[in-house]
Chains A and B, each alone.
Chain A
Amino acid sequence: MSASLENIKTFDPFADALDSEAQTVNYVHIRIQQRNGRKTLTTVQGLPAEYDLKRILKVLKKDFGCNGHIAKDEEMGEVIQLQGDQRVKVSEFLVSALQIQKKTIKIHGF
């Protein structure tokens, strides 16, 4: 019985719950879309408004060696579009350069 009590101590049931509440506010979604052939398109949606998307895009384009642009959407706001599958690289960049928490980044697609 003492072992189970120990377990209860180490597990905080509310840690998880609080996280999920904070997360629902603003996720950064990184998606992939198939184009013709084996070409793909990466979209980054939901970046916080305090960042200058134009400058981010400029750096991303140079770092990944790909083209891209900012698409404006009525519902989703401004979305960064990049050519090719840049999902992992983008998420790494967002974590390291922009101090976005990894929890708030959602990578979609296969």
Chain B
Amino acid sequence: MADENENEKMDNENQKPEKMFTLKKWNAVAMWSWDVECDTCAICRVQVMDACLRCQAESKKDSYGKQDCVVVWGECNHSFHYCCMSLWVKQNNRCPLCQQEWSIQRMGK
């Protein structure tokens, strides 16, 4: 690979001596984010993939030392901590973000 580049570079240099720049190093940077509609729980304002404020306060931990606080997605695609949402739906069974009737699409991490 390096040799090929070297040869190419020399060829190029022979053909175009006026060239001012050669590419010596190329760093690729990748960005990622959680593939969910809303990455922060709008109720407690903690990332949905982290434990909710209530669980953090009670420091509930399972055997792996990971906090057992799952995410819930509604039919509207909005996501919240299951703990946060279960308290809210007791008084109003609507999505706090879009006001649609709340029904669970899936749960998990």
Do A and B belong to a common assembly? no
